[in-house]
Structure 1
Amino acid sequence: MAQELVGAIVALVCVALVYMGMAARVVKQYERGVLFRLGRVAGDVRPPGLTLILPFVDRLQKVNMQIVTLPIPAQEGITRDNVTVRVDAVVYFRVVDATSALVKVEDYKFAVSQMAQTSLRSIIGKSDLDDLLSNREQLNQGLELMIDSPAVGWGVQVDRVEIKDVSLPDTMKRSMARQAEADRERRARIINADAELQASKKLAEAAEQMSGTPAALQLRLLQTVMAVSAEKNSTLVLPIPVELLHFLERGNREPAPSGEPGSRPAPGLLPQPDAERDPRGEAPDGEAVPGPGLRLDPPTGGPDLEPGSPVTAPDGEPAAHPGVRLDPLTGAPDLEPGLRDGTPDAEPGRHTDR
């Protein structure tokens, strides 16, 4: 009898354990449980923890309440300014009503994905290319509103939508690169022009300040010469100072006082007569032209020199005379009859005595 009682107790314990194993359910912290009894929602959503159900009657379905990251496949579309682009995005959403997410939609994740794709194509067609590239924040907000409106009825809340990448055709990329290069070149030219304008103003102010002090100009010239001469491979050409030219011009205009040495022009600078001279030393009218330091003999027309008296220069050397050759031995003029400076005499009867 006792053995039968012990066996019954053991059997009841085993049945209880099996029942507890089939009836007990554990809901995790990030989950919520929806109980279906005989196919209908029974009671409220089960919170995290241990919950019991009726085996073979109840069915507990768990719903993840965490934020879900759903990537949207790249969508190709034509923008409002007729540019073909490919845009992909990502959606962040979470379930706020577990019962609606299970009852009102078959697969809320798939539904959100399809809604995000259609909304992305719609926003591409309504936007310009510049908006897709530079005004993404506003486009993200528009996508969020477009996806969140129908998702609210499914017990899903869209937290955020982000456009990830905008792919352009190669031809459009090259065109945009040329446009960007032209814009950078334009800005560089404007900056250079402004810099040259400011530099010219400063140079004008410096020139105005230095124009009143010639010494400052000369100092600036010397500084420039020193800077240029520092280079070994440079050739420096200096102009003649203008002040020196003015000094020379003023000296040529002022005549020397009479009676002072150098007031008389040099013989080589005296104006020559227009009449051509005869090689023999005669003028065109037949008269003999004396040279410096010689007198003409009226009867003969030759130099009036005493025999043996040489013609000497101030330094003691024999002095040459136009039309007269000097004897190397005596230093006196060597004149042969009928010859004067190697040219036949025009009048054979006129001789010069030695």
Structure 2
Amino acid sequence: MQTWIIAGAVALGVLVVLALSVRLVQQYQRGVVFRFGRVHSRVREPGLRFIIPLVDRMVKVTMQTVVMPVPAQGAITRDNVTLTVDAVVYYRVVDPIRALVNVRAYGNAVLQVAQTSLRSVIGRADLDVLLSDRERINAELKAAIDAPTEKPWGVLIERVEVKDVALPDSMKRSMSRQAEAERERRARIIAADGEFQASQRLADAARAMSATPGAYQLRLLQTVVDVAAEQNSTLVMPIPVELLRFFNQISDKAGDVGANGAYHLADASR
């Protein structure tokens, strides 16, 4: 009976030791072992891993990409416009030992660096650049956040995106008036350009018709047909200039003939 008790106690002790020494590391994790408070140089890979009970302590670090929203920050641009900007940061741990040893709560540390970097980058940019060139602002933010985090802390900043830029109401109204004035200016330029091109075409047509006097009358008749087709109205047509010239030529010829006849009669009487 006593033997069974001893065997049971030994088996229980073995189970307790195994329970304290076995650790399960997931595929997306890495295990960092501290032995008597010092970091063990070898990082534990995913799977079942064994440690020495009461001697080793394992801390698991997630290697997945973390999506961290940056709260809205009030900032002043280089051209003295006050606005509110928020962003989102994508980061992951590339060196679990540095992430645990060199910085405390690396997630919170990355957040603080992102907030200060966001205000700094916005302060160096103009409002027009901030609204039109988001890729440049995102690249500057990524470089500003990645510099103090990758090598010292073992945290890699994969991507930084500016989510929203909130402008004051007065600035929105000013931008709306500016956009309206710009659209009106473009409309006037387009209308003036159209009138200029139309005047050039009319001048070309006038020069072409001036070489053929009958073209004026054909154009006049075409205009009369168009007006008569659109409206039922009475049209008063002036006498064509060519017709007056024709009668004038006939009268001149008749005058010449009469003068010649009178001259011959006077000659005969002599």
- TM-score, reference length from structure 1: 0.65
Instruction: Name the residue aligned to 1:154.
Output: 153
Structure with more relative contact order (C-alpha pairs < 8 Å, separation 6 or more): 2
Q: Aligned with 1:44: secondary structure? A: coil
Q: Aligned with 2:27: secondary structure? A: coil
- How far apart are the structure 2 equivalents of 1:234 and 1:177? 49
Q: Aligned with 1:142: secondary structure? A: helix
Q: Equivalences for 1:121-270 in 2 at 5 Å? A: 121-152=119-150, 153-232=152-231, 236-247=235-246
Instruction: Name the residue aligned to 2:51.
Output: 53
Instruction: Name the residue aligned to 2:71.
Output: 73
Q: Aligned with 1:81: secondary structure? A: coil
The one-character-per-residue Cα deviations of 1:119-138 (angstroms, maximum 9, x if unpaired) are 11112222211121122222
Cα distance change of structure 1 residues 120 and 6 upon mapping to structure 2, 3 Å threshold: same
Q: Aligned with 1:150: secondary structure? A: coil
- How far apart are the structure 2 equivalents of 1:226 and 1:108? 86
**How far did residue 109 of structure 1 move?**
0.7
Cα distance change of structure 1 residues 175 and 236 upon mapping to structure 2, 3 Å threshold: farther
Structure 1 window deviating more from structure 2 (94-103 vs 208-217): it is: 208-217
Contact 1:228–1:236, Cα closer than 8 Å, also in 2 = no
- How far apart are the structure 1 equivalents of 2:14 and 2:55? 17
**How far did residue 235 of structure 1 move?**
5.4
Q: Aligned with 1:36: secondary structure? A: strand
- How far apart are the structure 1 equivalents of 2:105 and 2:232? 84
**How far did residue 46 of structure 1 move?**
0.6
Cα distance change of structure 1 residues 65 and 204 upon mapping to structure 2, 3 Å threshold: same
Cα distance change of structure 1 residues 239 and 167 upon mapping to structure 2, 3 Å threshold: farther
The one-character-per-residue Cα deviations of 1:215-242 (angstroms, maximum 9, x if unpaired) are 3322222222222222145554433322
**How far did residue 172 of structure 1 move?**
0.9
Q: Aligned with 1:63: secondary structure? A: strand
Supply the RMSD in Å over aligned alpha carbons.
2.6
- How far apart are the structure 1 equivalents of 2:142 and 2:238? 78
- How far apart are the structure 1 equivalents of 2:125 and 2:54? 55
Amino acid in structure 2 at the alignment position of 1:28? Q
Cα distance change of structure 1 residues 233 and 85 upon mapping to structure 2, 3 Å threshold: farther
Structure 1 portions without partners, runs of 5+: 258-354
Instruction: Name the residue aligned to 1:118.
Output: 116
Q: Equivalences for 1:297-312 in 2 at 5 Å? A: none
- How far apart are the structure 2 equivalents of 1:64 and 1:70? 14
- How far apart are the structure 1 equivalents of 2:222 and 2:239? 17
**How far did residue 114 of structure 1 move?**
0.7
**How far did residue 211 of structure 1 move?**
1.6
Q: Aligned with 2:54: secondary structure? A: coil
Which residue, out of 3, 17, 20, partners 2:15?
A: 17
Amino acid in structure 2 at the alignment position of 1:61? V
Which residue, out of 41, 44, 52, partners 2:42?
A: 44
Amino acid in structure 2 at the alignment position of 1:116? A
Rg larger in structure: 1
Instruction: Name the residue aligned to 2:28.
Output: 30
Instruction: Name the residue aligned to 1:107.
Output: 105
Which residue, out of 82, 89, 92, partners 1:91?
A: 89
- How far apart are the structure 1 equivalents of 2:204 and 2:107? 74
Amino acid in structure 1 at the alignment position of 2:195? E
- How far apart are the structure 2 equivalents of 1:166 and 1:235? 66
Structure 1 window deviating more from structure 2 (224-233 vs 26-35): it is: 224-233
